[in-house]
Structure 1
Amino acid sequence: MDSLLRLCLVPFLVSVVEVVGALRRNQDVEFTFVLPAGATECFYQTVTRQSSLEVEYQVIAGSSLDVGFALISPTGYRLVSEFRRSDGIHSVDPTEDGDYRVCFDNSFSSFSEKMVFARLIMNDPKETFGDDITWESQPEPDSLLEYKLVDIWEKFDLVRQHLERSRQAQAALRAFEARDRYLLEDNLWRVSFWSFANLLVMLAVALTQVYTLRSLFNVKQVRA
């Protein structure tokens, strides 16, 4: 009984370690940066052939919340080109082998810098769970215990995929929340500024009216 328990626990612990390792080896990239006024920033991402690349970006702060965007292949071909957009999602499937260039353009803005959130998701169909061994290369299980271990392994792989998707969704929600908070703060400042300006105008008009009315009734007595 003890030997059977050890036989089950060892592969289970190995699977847990491999799950953590797969999570750490994740190639997805998320970053937030400040794009200066009148500048263009480019980032490079190495992608293997016959995989897929998804690029998502959002402008979360800055005047008008817009930037130019370009996605360029390793051979120099411009796959995507956008001008003055606040967000976008673009996919390349299948990809070429090499460095893809992701560029953000703020050259049309002379004074306002932009804060941009970007996320690059890479899916390699050849990438496997564990030690880079495809399921097709695994020998057929010849016992019920091996069937159970394979089933546990597949469950861990499914959980890993769900956790990764959840992390990506949470990152997108954080970017949306940051952009909405910036819009709210900017609108609050504008409302407060114009409310204060209107209050000053109303006080000036009221004082002018009082002064005008007093001047009409301030008749000097003329002695004969």
Structure 2
Amino acid sequence: MTSKIIFLYFVVQLIHLASSFEKEFTVSIDPSKEDCFYHTLKAGESAEIEYQVISGGHGELDISLNILDPIGRIIVADFKKSENSHKIDAKENGDYRFCFDNKFSSISTKTVFFELIVDNSEEDKWGSDENYNFDGIEPDEIYNLKIEDVQELVNNVRDHLNKVRHLQDMIKSTEARDRNVAEETFFKVNTYSMLTLVVMILVCLVQLVMVKSLFDEKSKIHHIWSYIEKILH
């Protein structure tokens, strides 16, 4: 009987987990553009968004974020941030907008990784003892099994798994960002090195022509140099 109750409890928890929403996205925001993503929330639900700019397209790793409620009021406003996280509580039913704004950049495309987590307000109802109805089992027998301990254990396991997965996602996005920064630095170093090499070659050619002209009596540079020597002497 005990194993049956525990099994039913785990089934209820799995149904609850399946009803929650958690999604990850990697998007590219073109210069002078704004991209918005919509998600429907019910009153009492909470949504958490965490974002990070992993590529700046030869520009700064920053982006602006605006979160708007169904009426169009701005709830959260970030300006030129490389990463941040926000949690909002829905006051009314409707579509909430999560807008990434790259209008301040005219040439750089920004690649943004973000994760959206929606907590269902029904979570506490699932977790309360009054919603468990096991036929043929007396209430005293249920409480003697300390089902609240099983509930706490399952919740802890769920929370730790979510934290582990979230940490892995952030590590992955950080690695992508570091790789993009390294590639950008490599591109800048190569470009600067090529420009420096070209300038050095041009300087060497100019010096070679100048020195050769000084010893050529028919060249204009030789005549100018001779005239300068006469003036100085």
TM-score range, shorter chain: 0.7 to 0.9
Q: Which runs of 5+ in 1 are unaligned?
A: 1-6
CA contact (8 A) 2:68 2:76 kept: yes
CA distance in 2: counterparts of 1:106 and 1:25, whole angstroms: 33
**1:43 is the counterpart of 2:41:** no
Name the aligned partner's letter for residue 167 of structure 2: A
Aligned to 1:184: 182
User: Compared with structure 1, are the counterparts of its residues 11 and 89 closer, same or farther at alpha carbon in structure 2 (3 Å cutoff)?
Assistant: same
Aligned CA-pair RMSD: 3.0
Structure 1 pair 33–53 and aligned structure 2 pair: CA distance change class (3 A): same
The alignment partner of 2:145 has SS state of: helix
Picking from 197, 200, 204, the partner of 2:202 is 204
Gap regions ≥5 residues in structure 2 = 219-233
Give 1:81 deviation, angstroms: 2.4
Question: Cα distance, 1:215 vs. partner?
Answer: 4.0
Q: Alpha-carbon deviation of 1:102?
A: 1.0
Q: Distance in 1 between matches of 2:131 and 2:16?
A: 19
User: Of the candidates 43, 46, 61, which is equivalent to residue 65 of structure 1?
Assistant: 61
> Paired residue for 2:89?
93
CA contact (8 A) 2:16 2:123 kept: no
Deviations 1:127-146 (A, max 9, x none): 159xx362354588534895
Matched, 1:81 2:77: yes
The residue identity in structure 2 corresponding to 1:190 is K
What secondary structure, in the 3-state scheme, does the structure 1 residue paired with 2:174 have?
A: helix
- Please, what TM-score do these two structures have when normalized by structure 1? 0.77
Q: 1:73 to 1:104 in 2, by over 3 A?
A: same
Query: d(CA) in 2 for partners of 1:119 and 1:84?
Result: 18
Shift of 1:190: 0.3
Q: Distance in 2 between matches of 1:78 and 1:205?
A: 57
Counterpart in 2 of 1:170? 168
Displacement after TM superposition at 1:17 (Å): 4.5
Aligned AA (1:81): A
TM-score by length of 2: 0.75
Distance apart, 1:117 and its partner CA? 1.5
Q: Which residue of 2 aligns with 1:108?
A: 104
- 8 Å CA contact 1:38–1:108 kept in 2: the answer is yes
**Identical-residue share of aligned pairs (%):** 36
Q: CA 1:95 to 1:144, structure 2 compared with 1: closer, same or farther past 3 Å?
A: closer
